[in-house]
Chains A and B, each alone.
Chain A
């Protein structure tokens, strides 16, 4: 069965907790702004579908994969390492290397917080191109933009200009969700709802 939009789909493998929320939104915005389709495991709410099947399906449907390993390290004593992100990176990498056909054209971006920190936990990635973002959404916008532009050989406005557009979108969110809809904070609204508003905003406002 043909995979719809394979060449435009970008699988985003990252945490969905509050701590990462603003980084996630900046990645999704940049991907969407450049005309690609972000694919996240939270997009499908079918509780009958098991999580790993959902992940495998998204990876199978996506030419691109963005994998953020910045949260695999536990921040507190007696906290477990978070292995979902490297596990899903492994599936994506395996798909690229072993499945053949168009899947061998898959492009993978691996992100970390600090340069070289991943090597302590995942030395198999030594020699791979890993980009760091320092937990800064402005940096992340530029990193994702540069990667897509280089990989796809497309022209696009600078990361700084996309960042300014992202800030305009945040003002729009505040007006719509807090002032019009009565939420106490934009942060009270689910990421999937924010992404829907993002798609509308980009469609209507992008120059």
Chain B
């Protein structure tokens, strides 16, 4: 089991898209489009040096970027 990490997620939420912190069951913010959610959440993830996951409509991970300050961060996977 991987250890808990600071992460931000863009997920489908009702008719729009939500940004949520990893482990949280509540959305931080809602957006009409996925693109708006991605732009806002990516900035949060960069500020917080967090892992950044973009989920598809079915929940699967579409892409992940790492903004952590690890000396050997994982490469972006798209």
Report A's interface with B, CB cutoff 8 A: 22, 26, 136-138, 157, 160-161, 163-168, 170-176, 178-180, 186-187, 200-201, 204-205, 207
In this complex, what residue of A is CB-closest to B64?
A174
Q: A167-B9, A186-B60 are in contact. List 18 more A-B contacts (CB 8 A).
A: A137-B58, A138-B13, A138-B14, A138-B59, A164-B18, A164-B20, A164-B24, A164-B26, A164-B27, A165-B25, A170-B60, A170-B61, A171-B7, A171-B9, A171-B55, A171-B64, A174-B64, A179-B74
B interface residues, tally (CB under 8 Å): 26
Query: Residues of B contacting A170 with CB < 8 Å?
Result: 55, 59-61
Interface residue B2 (Cβ < 8 Å from any Cβ of A): yes
Contacts A137-B58, A180-B2: A171 and B12 contacting too (C-beta < 8 A)? no
State the Cβ distance, B44 to closest chain A Cβ, in Å.
16
In this complex, what residue of A is CB-closest to B7?
A171
In this complex, what residue of B is CB-closest to A139?
B14
Majority secondary structure, A binding face: helix
Contacts A171-B9, A178-B77: A166 and B59 contacting too (C-beta < 8 A)? yes
What are 22 inter-chain pairs, A to B, with CB distance below 8 A? A22-B60, A138-B57, A138-B59, A160-B13, A164-B11, A164-B26, A164-B27, A165-B25, A166-B59, A167-B9, A167-B55, A168-B23, A170-B59, A171-B9, A171-B61, A172-B2, A173-B61, A174-B53, A176-B2, A178-B77, A186-B60, A186-B61
Residue interface mask B56-70, A partner, CB < 8 A = 1: 011111001000000
Instruction: Assess the A164–B55 pair: CB atoms within 8 A.
Output: no
* Of B2, B11, B77, the contact of A167 (CB 8 Å cutoff): B11
